[in-house]
Structure 1
Amino acid sequence: MKRKISLGIAAVILLFGFLAFKSAGEKYFDIAKSLDIFATLFKEVNALYVDEVEPKKLIQTGIQGMLESLDPYTDYIPEENLEAFSILTTGQYAGIGALIGSINNKSVVTHPYENFPAYRAGLKVGDEFISVDGKNVKGKPTSEISALLKGSPNSDLDLVVDRMGKSISFKIKREKIKISNVVYQGIVDSGIGYIKLDDFTPGAAKEIEEAMISLKKQGVTKLIIDLRDNPGGLLYEAINIVNLFIEKGKEVVATKGKVQDWNKSYTTLNNPADTQIPIVVLTSGGSASASEIVAGALQDYDRAVLIGQKTFGKGLVQTTRPLAYNGQLKVTTAKYYIPSGRCIQALDYAHRKNDGTVEKFSDSMKSAFKTKNGRTVYDGGGLDPDITVSSDLLGSAIIELVRSGLVFDFATKYSNEHAPASNMRTFRLSDADYKQFELWLKDQKFTYSTDLEKQAENLIAAAKTERYYDELQASLTTIQTKIGQNHSVYLSKFKNEIQQILEDEIAFHYSLDRGRAEIALGRDKEIVEAKKILNDPAAYQKLLLPH
């Protein structure tokens, strides 16, 4: 059969590839034996399995399972996925400059990037795709629509969208898209500048420098750099950002791996832009990788105060390697260590439990290190901020409400029915607006179950299983009744939180990243704390000294 490939020959070739790089010994036998077992097993499954087998799909499933057993970052990228991978790492592609998403079974515009074709043409957040170049795409998967929107630079695209029940046609010329890393810059208080960095694709450091120069021309003498929920990106961009604020010739990060070639020290190569400006870096549990290099290096050199929550704890470095048939392997090759000598990797993938789960490094396994000024910092679990600001906890049903897409849909409705506020920093929904949302939500027949209700049901089920129900029935019924009585007023308990979520989404619909950033500036707890510290030089300096 043509479908039956000679895996025995492939295994021998692969084996000799391994032998060229591995030391002789028992490992040779283990590799040969394992490959032989795999080849034989695959041939038998391919020949005998009751239904037809797709060899490529089966092999890729095996590859993914093998790599997932190492860590979440080591991955195989087949040829057909290389374009998406390239966009992710470079932030560049040719198209109209808009993100699309699926909201309540509709494929809609979720983010037209400012100053790119979709934005200039007038596409708005919430517009539903109807046709692309005459092809009906209503209800089609977002991946299919996204592929149609991409094309050669300068090529024309005919687009029809539905906006609040009205069809609108656009003719848009595609162009090369380079998504900005800095999504917002502005002044949050007298002399205090704010820069929101969302990514680390090529040019991130240059964008930070340009934003800082622009803000300084407006009188800024202190700076907030927001790295919250920034998942990281290119290592050299992180190094260049740190270089803006510390002297030439200082180590920013070192990488250490099994292969000698990956043991490297990365130092600042250029003269800094400003070594004196006071800096606050905002962090969250979503700040990872390159974000942690920037925040960690500035903390280790006592060059910035960190405010927010503990960072994610990704201290692993990935390298891409070319494979046969134009595939790529993204493989973890090293761990990185910031200037104090600590590695901030939180999860110990090398020592999994018997069930395959991964645990965090225990406190007993963590080591203490010193910053330049002698402050004590620790490894093995992300970066601890100098000032912790706890994040607001939302009820389970509120999270369910956001995930339902109804907040997005109401924001689409509201932004199309009301003129934008003249100042997004002061935009607030009126009581009448919020009442309108409650009535609209009721019309949408939004239903939810709180975690408390689910736990009560689980408790009753467990009591029946363990044969305690008869003894506990009265108490359990009372608990369930009281919880049920609170169901109708549950959302009202979170009115302030829901209203802020709505206002943030509406601000984004109106003014994209700028709107979302500006509405947050006046009420964001971390920004408020950052302004407080930057406006108190003595308190700022005290935080950078040993306690």
Structure 2
Amino acid sequence: MTLRNRKIKVWGIGSLIIIIALSFSSPSDRYFEIAKNLDIFATLFKEVNALYVDEINPNKVIKTGIDAMLASLDPYTNYIPEDDIENFRTQSTGQYGGIGAITSRLNGKIKVVMLMEGYSAEKNGLKIGDEVIKINDIDVRELSREETSELMKGQANTPVSLTVLRYGNTTPLTLDFKREKVKISNVPYYGMVSSDIGYVKLTEFTMQAGKEVRNAVSELKDKGAKKIILDVRSNPGGLLMEAVNITNVFLPKGQEVVSTKGKLTENNATYKTLNNPIDEEIPLAVLINSGSASASEIVAGTIQDYDRGVVIGQKSFGKGLVQITRPLSYNSQLKVTTAKYYTPSGRCIQALDYSFRNVDGSVGAVPDSMKMEFKTTNGRAVMDGGGIDPDIEVEKESLSPIVHSLFTKGYIFDYATKYHFEHDAIEDAKNFRLSDEEYQAFTAWLSDKDYSYTTQVEKKLEELTKNAKKEKYYEDIKERLADVKSTLAASKKNDLTDFKHQIVAMLEDEITSRYYLEKGSVESTFDSDQDILKAIEILNNSERYNQILAKK
């Protein structure tokens, strides 16, 4: 940075402080403290910039300071510099310029993991499993997945080429695409899970989410759906108004959905349904898990508060905070938490109290003594201060260490690619099953692969051994420890058999996605997804369904 630029930078900050100081002409101590600390910050930056041993990047240093300041508030209050505005806009609108391909780094390689149906990537020959090595002649093998993704994006109607390595080929293949406006669907899948139960998978709350859910439910009813499963598992939320529109599919016009309360009165508002519903009587099950947050929790909580449907799964995340964006200078923006939201019963499901931090800076959960009980329309008890508790909790089977290893090292993904190139077609995704012989072929393929892993029991045993040596008990128990270690090693040899059901489920998911894209990936889980199976069970038992929603 030149001396002139440095002076301009410092003068600019100095002018800002003068303006702020003048605007805070009130004798308020608070305003004086703001002006004083801004002056200190500007002076400090001036001295560091002038004297630090190495040249510093002012954009990077200032952003680090801003990020640290905002991080002391909550994780959702963020500074969005101009360079990140496009990504932020994608998150809000679900639209970007690209080819409709999703990549991920697997075992050190950038691979195509999903294609969006109907877009350039699918139409022009890209395949799931392709390893991307160049984008427009830029070698991406050492770049991050995010950097690779940015290179693929761009203005609609502009060309981009990808050089890929494809399974079974040693020669790289170059494919040409034309970027287009890609719209990430809020509802990537909807269909029938049985003859009379419709299923809607909602993964985003961007613009038009309510319209997409409304259209999906309407079409499912036309296909014979007499009951609906709405899946918001692992949905992190998004636009609050779309949560209102989605509940409006099942709730009558004029019904309160959510209210917000903040420090400023203009952030206090009540949001009600605006339209006539598609069906306010159809039996409904809403699926949630620990990844269901914010707008997802508004939908699940509102449905629960009005006893409009049964909530099934695991406790939700617990984000009861509302953010808005404010424009800043130089095309940057601030996303800031302005209010807490409350479901119709009056509860705020925020799980962490950011207004109070522990000595170490960590944030604690709302203590049980501070949680309050509220009532649903039918008088059922619901609690605040910790997410949405499902009406029916489904215990999730934890992923075994061997499955985690096979997945993270890319072996399940790579075998699905191999299977795809060796089989021209498979049954439809709902009926596809990996045979015992095909599973044996998979285990044989693994025989020369390194998928070593350490179980939690092995970690505990190692810790016990260290403590035994430290406390001088090792000689007394070393033979027993050796016996346990030997037993564990023998048991691990059976893991491919003992956890076959988990491995097969993941293989079927990956394989069907090669033939039927995201639709196949979803439908392949219908026979093994415990939450979906429980929802089907409850919806098919009207007496049990009504009993759950009745006053306890």
Q: TM-score, normalised by structure 1?
A: 0.94
Root mean square deviation of aligned Cα: 2.2
1:128-179 CA-partner distances (Å, limit 9, x unpaired)? 2244344444554433433332233233333332211434443322211111
Letter in 1 for 2:153: K
Relative distance call for 1:394 and 1:46 in structure 2 (3 A) is: same
The size of the alignment, in residue pairs, is 547
Q: Distance in 2 between matches of 1:473 and 1:12?
A: 72
Structure 1 residues 375 and 104, CA gap change in structure 2 (3 angstroms): same
**Distance in 1 between the 2:479 and 2:34 partners?**
63
Match of 1:514 in 2: 519
The 2-side partners of 1:286 and 1:225 are apart by: 15
Q: CA deviation at 1:474?
A: 4.3
Does the 8 Å CA contact 2:258/2:342 hold for their aligned counterparts? yes
Give, in angstroms, the shift of residue 47 of structure 1: 3.3
Structure 2 counterpart of 1:266: 271
Distance 2:336 2:18 in 1: 19
Match of 1:159 in 2: 162
Distance 1:23 1:462 in 2: 63
Of the three residues 438, 441, 448, the one matched with 2:453 is 448
**Residue in structure 1 matched with residue 398 of structure 2 by the alignment:** 393
Kindly indicate whether residue 60 of structure 2 is the aligned counterpart of residue 64 of structure 1. no
User: Aligned letter for 1:501?
Assistant: M
1:432-447 mapped onto 2 (5 Å cutoff): 432-447=437-452
Moved more, 420-429 or 260-269: 420-429
Amino acid aligned to 2:65: G
Question: How far, CA to CA, are the matches of 1:430 and 1:18 in structure 2?
Answer: 74
* Preserved CA contact (<8 Å) 1:126 1:409: yes
Q: Which moved further from structure 2: 169-178 or 199-208?
A: 169-178
Question: Any stretches of 5+ residues in structure 1 without a counterpart?
Answer: none
- CA shift in 2, pair 1:52/1:508, >3 Å: same
Does the aligned pair in 2 maintain the 1:507–1:516 contact within 8 Å? Answer: yes
Over 3 Å counting, the alpha-carbon distance change for 1:512 and 1:32 in structure 2 is same
1:77 paired with 2:80, answer yes
Q: Identity over the aligned pairs, expressed in percent? A: 50
For 1:33-182, what aligned pairs fall within 5 Å after superposition? Answer: 33-166=36-169, 167-182=172-187
In structure 2, distance between residues paired with 1:494 and 1:283: 25
Corresponding residue to 2:202 among 193, 197, 200: 197
1:350 alignment partner, SS class: strand
Kindly indicate whether the alpha-carbon contact (under 8 Å) linking 2:21 and 2:35 is maintained by their aligned counterparts in 1. Answer: no
Q: Which whole-Å CA distance do the structure 1 matches of 2:438 and 2:389 have between them? A: 40
Q: Which moved more, 1:34-43 or 1:285-294?
A: 34-43
List runs of 5+ in structure 2 lacking aligned partners. Answer: none
Deviations 1:498-535 (A, max 9, x none): 12112112222221221122111122211121112212
Q: What are the Cα deviations for residues 360-414 of structure 1, in whole angstroms up to 9, with x where unaligned?
A: 1122111000111111100011111111111111223432332222221222222
Distance 1:239 1:113 in 2: 27
User: How many angstroms does 1:332 deviate by?
Assistant: 0.9
Task: Look up the equivalent residue of 1:391 and give its one-letter code.
Answer: K
Q: Alpha-carbon deviation of 1:9?
A: 5.9
**Preserved CA contact (<8 Å) 2:94 2:183:** yes
Cα distance in 1 for partners of 2:418, 2:428 equals: 20
Q: Secondary structure at the match of 2:164?
A: strand
Q: Distance in 2 between matches of 1:211 and 1:478?
A: 58
Whole-angstrom distance in 2 between the partners of 1:347 and 1:470: 47
1:309·1:384 contact (CA, 8 Å) conserved in 2?
yes
Deviations 1:264-319 (A, max 9, x none): 11111112221111111111111111111111111111111111111111111111
The offset of 1:43, in angstroms, is 3.1
SS in 1 for 2:338: strand
Secondary structure (helix, strand or coil) at the match of 1:426 reads: coil
Per the alignment, residue 328 of structure 2 pairs with 323
Task: Give the direction of change, closer, same or farther, for the CA distance of 1:471–1:63 in structure 2 (3 Å limit).
Answer: farther
TM-score, normalised relative to structure 2 = 0.93
Three-state SS of the structure 2 residue aligned to 1:314 is coil
2:348 pairs with one of 324, 343, 347: 343
Q: Would the alpha carbon gap of residues 21 and 319 (structure 1) be closer, same or farther in structure 2, given more than 3 Å must change?
A: farther
In structure 2, the CA distance between the partners of 1:380 and 1:24, relative to structure 1 (3 Å rule), is farther
Instruction: Report the residue type matching 1:73 in the other structure.
Output: Y
Which letter maps to 1:362? P
Instruction: Give yes or no for contact 1:15–1:31 (8 Å, CA) kept in 2.
Output: no
Instruction: Give 1:195-344 correspondences, 5 Å limit.
Output: 195-344=200-349
**Cα distance 1:43–1:272, how it changes in 2: closer, same or farther (>3 A)?**
same
How far, CA to CA, are the matches of 1:389 and 1:119 in structure 2?
A: 37
- Per-residue deviation, 1:454: 1.9
In structure 2, how many angstroms separate the alpha carbons of the residues matched to 1:18 and 1:114?
56
Letter in 2 for 1:47: A
Q: Which amino acid is the alignment partner of residue 28 of structure 1?
A: Y
Q: Conserved in 2, the CA contact under 8 Å of 1:3 and 1:55?
A: no
Distance 1:367 1:8, change over 3 A: farther
CA–CA distance in 2 between the matches of 1:396 and 1:22? 63
